[in-house]
Chains A and B, each alone.
Chain A
Amino acid sequence: MTAPTPSQTVGPFFGFALPFEDDADAADGDAGGAIRVEGQVLDGAGEPVPDALVEASEGEQFARCRTDGEGAFHLTLRKPVVSDGAPCFEITVFARGLLRHLHTRLYLPGEEDVNRADRVLQLVDESRRHTLVGSADGDVVHFDIRLQGEGETVFFAL
């Protein structure tokens, strides 16, 4: 019997347990190639989700950030070096009210050619692809995660 253990919500009370020192920074923000990502997690009414946990990973990089009272999170990551496809980060979202976590991807602005050719993005309906691509905001990549409703972020089943 090898059925996977079912998921349950992370609940609202993980903030004393899961954060760790420098958890949101997988890269030194001053180093070349570092990308600062900022965004908000929003619910189906467009309201901020103040108790979400956002994790980003890519290769050996891992970062974790709990959203604040405005639903805002930030991550510092190194731009991935890829030989094939578009550079992107795997993003996982946990929250009270999410019985299972959500998996999405953050693709980067200014990479239109490789993004267009990316085989995962090509699986996504063209009208929704933009939800997976961050927007350039000065030196920051802005990436909101809309759990539900208008502009709902594309999530993936693995």
Chain B
Amino acid sequence: MSDLDYEPPYLYPDYRSTELRAPRHEPVRLPDEWFHKAPGPAFGRIPVGAEDADLTRRHRGEPLGERIIIHGRVLDGDGQAVRNTLVEVWQANAAGRYVDPVDDHDAPLDPNFTGAGRCLTDDAGFYRFVTVKPGAYPWRNHLNAWRPAHVHFSLFGPALASRLITQMYFPGDPLIPLDPILSSIPDPRGRELLIARLDLDTTIPEWALGYRWDIVLRGRRATPAEA
């Protein structure tokens, strides 16, 4: 791809789970004209309601933690808005615990927080979620390994090649430089692309801090003139 490609490798030994899961063969590259034509998956069967974008109001009471708004724009490689595309998010609660039964971290569940949300981008490509700031949590990758606070994002975009699952991190988190998953992105400029910024324009005074995080999907090559 172009110089502006910050993808992590499949094999990154500091992240131990890659060792037996990274393919050893190089992927077979499909011709560009094929992937320009390939339609994206129709995700219309995935239910999404207006209430799914507010993760703090899915239960009787309000979840504990720091209430935040995450807001941003989804763009394609040409900088054009990606409208009406599905954005799915999931995260740990403020104590660093997922509802998922696979998570056995000794931290409390919050009966008022599930931590999963969905929305569609609007006509200008914007998405917006209300949630609580997730906590850091330990994982067993190495001794004293802790994941920085993060929110998982899943997007479809217009084409098969634009499918993306990634993680958004919070600015100023001291765990960020210690994290093998984020550090797997070789170029620090690529890692920066996954860190939201505090955004006082999104912040609602006396109510919730706002973070801004824009997402650029593949699916069209950036035109050289834009570089």
Task: Show the binding face of A for B, using Cβ within 8 Å.
Answer: 1-18, 20-23, 26, 43-45, 47, 49, 51, 55, 57, 59-62, 90, 92, 94-103, 120, 123-124, 128, 147-149, 152-158
Which residues of chain B are near A11, meaning CB under 8 Å? 152, 167
Rounded to whole angstroms, the CA-CA distance of A49 and B17 in the bound complex is 11
Which residues of chain B are near A97, meaning CB under 8 Å? 15-22
A-side binding surface: helix, strand, loop or mixed? loop
Within 8 A of A (CB), among B1-51: 4-10, 12, 15-25, 27-30, 34-35, 38-47
B-side binding surface: helix, strand, loop or mixed? loop
> Does B79 belong to the interface (CB within 8 Å)?
yes
**Contacting pair B100 A14 (CB below 8 A):** yes
Task: Show the binding face of B for A, using Cβ within 8 Å.
Answer: 4-10, 12, 15-25, 27-30, 34-35, 38-47, 75, 77-79, 88-90, 92, 98-103, 114-116, 152, 154, 160-161, 163-167, 181-182, 184-185, 189-191, 193-194, 215-218, 222, 226
A18, A47, A158: residue with the most chain B Cβ atoms closer than 10 Å: A158
**Contacting pair A59 B39 (CB below 8 A):** yes
**Contacting pair A3 B6 (CB below 8 A):** yes
**Contacting pair B102 A12 (CB below 8 A):** yes
| List of 5 A-B pairs having minimum Cβ-Cβ separation, nearest first | A97-B17, A57-B41, A17-B90, A17-B116, A3-B4
Rounded to whole angstroms, the CA-CA distance of A5 and B167 in the bound complex is 10
Known: A5-B164, A156-B30. A99 touches B15 (CB 8 A): yes
Which residues of chain A are near B89, meaning CB under 8 Å? 17
**Contacting pair B90 A100 (CB below 8 A):** no
**Contacting pair A7 B7 (CB below 8 A):** yes
